[in-house]
Amino acid sequence: MPYIEMPKLSDTMTEGTVVKWRKGVGDPVDVGDVIAEIETDKAVMELEAFDEGILKEIYVAEGGKAQTGQKLAFLLGADEDMPQKDGPSGRREKSGATVAGRSLAAPPKAGTVASRTAAAVPGDRVKASPLARKIAGAKGLSLSSIQGSGPGGRIVARDLESAPEAARPARPILVPETPAGQGDRRIPLSSMRKIIAERLLASKTQIPHFYLNIELDAGELVRLRTQLNVHLEQAGQGKLTINDFILKAAVAAATKVPRVNASFAGDAVIEYADVHLSVAVAVEDGLVTPVIRRAQTKSLREISGAVKNLAARARTKKLKPEEYQGGTLTVSNLGSYGIKSFSAVINPPQAVILSIGAIVKQPVVNALDQIAPGHRLAIGLSADHRVVDGAVGAQYLAELRGLLENPTWMLL
Amino acid sequence: MPVITYRKALNDALAEELARDENVVIIGEEVAQYNGAYKVTEELWKRFGDKRVVDAPISEAGFIGLGIGASMLGLRPVVELMFWSFAFVAYDQIVNNAGCIRYMSGGLVNLPLVIRGPANGGTTHSHTPESSLANHPGVRVVCPATAYDAKGLMKTAIRDNDPVFVMENTLLYGETWEVPEEEYLIPLGVADVKREGRDLSLIAHGRAVMTSLKAAKILAAEHGIKAEVVDLRSIRPLDEEAILQSVRKTHRAVLVDENKPFCAVSAQIAAMIQEKAFDDLDAPVQRVCALDAPAIYSPPLEKQQLPTAERVVEKVLSIA
C-alpha cells in the first residue's frame, strides 16, 4: 500500500490537519517511524508508517486539511515504480496546500497560480526535455502547468504544441507588429526586459487594479529636511533625501494599516508581519526593486543608508537575488524626473504600490482662506482589489498624509 | 549502373590505385598467390607482379613495420590484416610509430599508409577496434558500409598522406550495391545521410548502418516514425556538423554501434551531441551497441549480440 492516507484516529473524526511533517520528500521511512503529526478534532497525534520505503511525494502541506482516507503522501517501496501522475485524488485542491507553501522569497511567476496545482506536486522538479524548455522559454509558457506525455511524464516538444492558450503567462501580442525596416533598430530582449514584460503583463491582466490619489502639503517636510541636512552637513554626514522620508512614512503607515502589506494567495490573504520594502530603481534597460528587509525596525538614517547602498549596487548589477526578492510593499518615485503624478503597475504578488511625484511649488489656499505659496506633493496608490478595498486604501493614504504633513511624528 | 559486391568494389579500388601510382604496393598474409583470405586482392598479384603485391609471413608487427618504413621512404603501402583483431600484436607499430611519426618529425615526414581488413569475426577475431584506434591523434579511421563507400573511401585513403585504417566487414563482402564505372573519390570526414527522416536520427557506421536502415523501414511501416539514417563513414575525422544538423532537425538520436558499449564510438558521439546540441534534444540520447561480452559461441545467442533491427526499433519506441 504505497499511499499514506489520513487515518481515522477517533470515532468522531472526519477530517484532520497535518500539523507537521516529521519526514521530508526523499527521506527513507521504516515501519513504525513517525512520519507526521496529525491534529484531530480532539488532539494532536503521531502518524506512524506501516510500510517501509522512500517518501516520494507529499500531497498535503503542513497546515493543510484532509478528510479521513484521503491520500497524504506517497511511499515508494524498494521494488516499486512511481505511478503515472494523474494526481493523488480529486480532493487535493481543497487543502490549498501548494499555495500556502509558496514562500514570499520566491514570488510565483504570475499566471500559473491557478494552474500550478493541476500538474506539479510541491517540491517535485518539473521533468522536461532541453528542447521543451527552450520552446517554453521562447513562447513564455510555464512548464509547471503542462502535463508531460513523454516517458516517465517528461514534458517533450509536442506537449508545448498542444499546450492550452490559458497556460501562457504572456499572451501573444494580438496587434500585428510593425516590422523593423531599414534604419530601424531591432533590440533583442534582455533577460531583465523579458521578466519585466512577463511580470507586468501578468500584473495588469490578472490583478484587478484600482487607483487612489492624494495631494498633500509638503511644506513641513521640506523645512524639516533642510534643517536636518544643515545639521548633518556640519557633522560631515550624508544628506537625507525627500524620498528617505517618504519611504519611512510608507513603512510606518503600513504598520498602522497592515492590510496593505499583504498578498493574495488563492484561498487566503497573507498579511506579512514584517514590512520588506521594495524600492523601484531605474537601471540601464529596465528597473529593479531592491528590498529593505524588516524596514519597520529601521530608523530614517538606516533606511537612507540602505537605499543608497542598494540603489548603487542595483545600477552596477551587483545585487544578490535575495536582495531583490521577497518584498511586500513597493514605492516608486518619479519626482526627480519632474513627474507630477502617475499610477504605477503593481509589483506582483504584492497588494499595493505607491507612486510618488515631484514636490511642486504652487499657490494654495491656506487655512485662513488666503492664497499663499505652498509645496505640494502628489501620491498615487495602486491596489489589488482582491486584497485591499477602497476604504482601506484611503485609510492607508490618510496615515501617510498625516506623517508627511507632520514629519516630526515619525520621530515618535 | 553496375551492381557489384563490396569485395569487388575494394578490389577495383586497389587495382585502380596500383595502376595509377607505381608507388602503391600491397603487403599481407596470403594477399598475392592465394588472392587474399577473403579474396579482396583477387587477381592483383597476377596483374601487377611480385614487386607490387607481396606475401608476408604470419608476423603482423614485422610486416606493418615494413610498411611504415617503406612509407617513410616514399612508397604508399596498403597492408592487409586478415582480421583487424590481429592488429593488437602490432599495436606498437600502429600507434607509436605510424601514429606519431608526423608529430615526432616536426611535420617533416609524411606517412602514407593504409591498413585494411575486416573488423568482425569470432571470439579473438571479432574485435571492433575503430574506437580504440581512433582514440589516438595522428591516425584516420574509416568504416565503409556499402560497396560505393568502400571504393571511394579506399581510393582516398591510399592517396592520403597520413595513416588511414580501413575497417571492412566479412558480412558485407558478399553484399551488392550500385557502383558507377567512372572514377570517384569520397573525402574522409564526410558523413552521408542514407535515408532522410524528420522524427529521429539513427546514427551508425559500418554494418550497423544496414541494421539502421532495416529498422527505419520497420519504424516507418509499423509505427509511422520517420527515422533519418546518418552513416558516419569516417570515425576520425568525425563529421560532427552532419550529426548535429540531423539532431537539430529531428531532436532525437539513437546511436547504433557494433562496438561494445564501454568507451565505444557511440559513447564519443553521445558526449558530443549533449555538449553541442543540448537545447535541441527532446529525449535522452540512446545507444544500441553489441552486448557487452566476448563474442558469444552459442549460435542462438550469437545472433543477439550485434545490434538487430528489432533492438533498434525497441530502443526508438522507448523514447518516441
For B274, name the nearest residue in chain A, comparing CA atoms only: A130
How many Cβ contacts (< 8 angstroms) between chains A and B?
Answer: 29
Q: Is residue A159 part of a domain?
A: yes
Distance (Å) of CA A332 to CA A136, A218, A314, A336, B181 = 32, 18, 15, 11, 80
Chosen domain end from A36, A67, A95: A95
**Nearest-angstrom CA–CA distance, B99 and B29:** 22
Query: Taking CB atoms and an 8 Å limit, are A130 and B319 in contact across chains?
Result: no
| CB atoms A131 and B282 under 8 Å | yes
Q: Order across the sheet with B140-142: list the strands.
A: B53-55, B24-28, B76-80, B114-118, B164-168, B140-142, B234-236
pLDDT of residue A89: 42
Distance CA(B236)–CA(B164), nearest Å, equals 9
Smallest Cβ–Cβ distance between A157 and the set B278, B282, B319 belongs to: B282
First-residue to last-residue Cα distance in chain B: 38
Count how many domains chain A has. Answer: 3
Q: How far is CA B190 from the centre of its chain?
A: 13
Determine, for residues A130 and B280 on separate chains, whether the beta-carbon distance falls below 8 Å: yes
Q: How confident is the model at residue B208 (pLDDT cuts 50, 70, 90)?
A: very high
In chain A, residues with a C-beta closer than 8 Å to the C-beta of B318 are: 151
Predicted pLDDT of residue A94: 37
Contact residues, chain A, for B286 at CB < 8 Å:
none
Shortest CA distance to A100 belongs to which of A136, A64, A135, A49?
A64
Q: Which of B17, B29, B42, B60 is catalytic?
A: B60
Using a CB-CB cut-off of 8 Å, the residues of chain B touching A157 are: 251, 282
Give how far B248 is from chain A: nearest CA, Å: 10
Classify residue A187: in a domain, yes or no: no
CA distance B213 to chain A (A): 25
Name the closest residue on chain B to residue A157, using Cα atoms. Answer: B282
Whether residue A131 and residue B251 make contact (CB cut-off 8 A), yes or no, is yes
B279 and A157 in contact by Cβ < 8 A? no
Q: Which of B282, B285, B315, B318 to mutate to test the interface with A (most CBs of A within 10 A)?
A: B282
Kindly report, residue by residue over B123-158, the tens digit of the pLDDT: 677 889 999 999 999 999 999 999 999 999 999 999
Distance CA A405, CA A348 (A): 30
Cα–Cα distance measured from residue A361 to residue A406, given in angstroms and rounded to the nearest whole number: 18
Q: Return the pLDDT at B175.
A: 96
Distances (CA, A) of A26 to A54, B59, B122: 6, 61, 48
**B318 touching chain A per CB within 8 A:** yes
Same-domain check for residues A216 and A153: no
Q: What is the CATH number of the domain that holds A235?
A: 3.30.559.10
Q: Which residue is closest to B317 within chain A, CA to CA?
A: A151
Bridge-partner residues for A278, per DSSP?
Answer: A291, A330
Return the SS3 of B284. coil
Q: Is A196 part of a structural domain of the chain? A: no
- Which residues in chain A are closer than 8 Å to B319, comparing Cβ atoms? 150-151
Alpha-helical regions (H) of A167-299: 191-206, 219-234, 242-256
Contact B238, B189 (CB under 8 A): yes
Task: Please state the separation of Cα B61 from the chain's center in Å.
Answer: 21
Asked if the structure places residue A126 within a domain, the reply is yes
Report the residue of A133, A135, A143, A156 to disrupt the B interface, i.e. the one with the largest count of B CBs within 10 Å.
A156
Q: Is the bond into B163 cis (omega within 30 degrees of 0)?
A: no
Residue with cell 498633500: A216
C-alpha to C-alpha distance for A131 and B234, rounded to whole angstroms? 29
Q: Which of the residue ranges A365-379, B113-127, B212-226 would you say has the lowest mean pLDDT?
A: B113-127
Domains B3-178 and B192-319 share a fold: yes
- The span from the CA of A29 to the CA of A26, in Å, is 9
Same domain, A112 and A45: no
Say whether both A82 and A152 belong to one domain.
Answer: no
> Does A137 share its domain with A221?
no
Position B156, amino acid: T
Span B217-244, mean pLDDT?
A: 97
* Residue ranges of chain A with per-residue pLDDT less than 50: 85-123, 166-170
Neighbours of A294 (CB within 10 A): 13
Complex confidence, ipTM: 0.73
Q: Does B278 touch chain A (CB under 8 A)?
A: yes
pLDDT confidence of residue A38: 86
Structural domain contains residue A181: no
Looking at the fold, whether A301 and A391 belong to one and the same domain comes out as yes
Hey, which residues 127-166 in chain A have their CB within 8 Å of chain B? 129-134, 150-151, 154, 156-157
Domain for residue A261, yes or no?
Answer: yes
CA-based nearest residue in chain A for residue B249: A131
**Same domain, yes or no: A50 and A105:** no
Q: Are residues A85 and A129 both part of a single domain?
A: no
Q: From start to end of chain B, where are the E strands?
A: 3-5, 24-28, 53-55, 76-80, 114-118, 140-142, 164-168, 176-178, 192-195, 200-204, 227-231, 234-236, 253-256, 286-288
Asked whether residue A11 falls in the same domain as residue A150, the answer is no
Please check whether residue B220 touches A, CB under 8 A: no
- Asked if B317 reaches chain A (Cβ–Cβ under 8 Å), the answer is no
In which residue are the cell numbers 491520500 written?
Answer: A71
Q: Which of A241, A281, A282, A280 is nearest to A382 (CA)?
A: A280
Cβ atoms of A327 and A291 within 8 Å: the answer is: yes
Is B283 close to A156, i.e. CB distance below 8 A?
Answer: yes
Q: Is residue A265 in a domain?
A: yes
A126 and A90 belong to one structural domain: no
The number of beta carbons lying within 10 Å of the beta carbon of residue B196 is 12
* Domain assignment present for A31: yes
Residue ending a domain, among A95, A116, A138, is A95
Q: Is A140 left (phi over 0), alpha (psi -120 to 50) or beta?
A: left
Residue in chain A lying closest to B280 (CA)? A131
Residue identified by cell 531599414 is A182
For residues A252 and A282, state if they share a domain: yes
| C-alpha to C-alpha distance for B61 and B90, rounded to whole angstroms | 4
B192-319 belongs to CATH 3.40.50.920: yes
Taking each helix axis from N to C end, the angle separating B208-223 and B309-319, rounded to the nearest 10 degrees, works out to: 60
Q: What is the DSSP string of A263-276?
A: EE-SSSEEEPSS--
Shared-domain flag, residues A81 and A107: no
Q: Please, are residues A325 and A347 in contact by the beta-carbon 8 Å criterion?
A: no
- Examine the domain organization and report whether A88 and A119 are in the same domain: no
Chain B positions touching A129 (Cβ under 8 A) are 251, 281-283
The architecture (CATH level 2) of B3-178 comes to 3-Layer(aba) Sandwich (3.40)
Q: What is the pLDDT of residue A42?
A: 67
The predicted model gives B242-254 an average pLDDT of 97
CB-based burial, A262-282: b 16+ in 10 Å, e otherwise: bbbbeeeebebeebbbbbbbe
Q: What is the pLDDT of residues A131-178, one digit of tens each?
A: 998 888 887 788 887 888 888 888 999 888 876 554 444 455 566 677
Handedness of CA A156, A158, A164, A170 (dihedral sign): positive
The 8-class DSSP code of residue A100 comes to H
- Give how far A120 is from chain B: nearest CA, Å: 20
The active-site residue, picked from B16, B30, B125, B240, is: B125
Residue from the list A129, A151, A156 with its beta carbon closest to the beta carbon of B318: A151
Last residue of a domain, one of A95, A123, A149: A95
Q: Which segment of A31-45, A378-392, B75-89, B266-280 scores lowest on mean pLDDT? A: A31-45
User: Nearest-CA neighbor of B169 among B204, B114, B236, B120?
Assistant: B120
pLDDT in tens, B97-108: 999 999 999 999
Full domain range(s) for residue A72: 3-95
What are the boundaries of each domain within chain B?
A: 3-178, 192-319
Active-site annotation holds for B125: yes
Angle (CA) A105 A109 A111, round 5°: 140
Q: List helix spans (H) across B73-179.
A: 91, 101-104, 130-134, 147-159
Residue of A nearest to B248 (CA): A131
In whole angstroms, what is the distance from residue B204 CA to residue B199 CA? 16
3-state helix, strand, coil split of chain B in percent (to 5) is 40, 20, 40
Instruction: Kindly state whether B175 is in contact with chain A, defined as any CB-CB distance less than 8 angstroms.
Output: no
Residue A82 has a pLDDT of 59
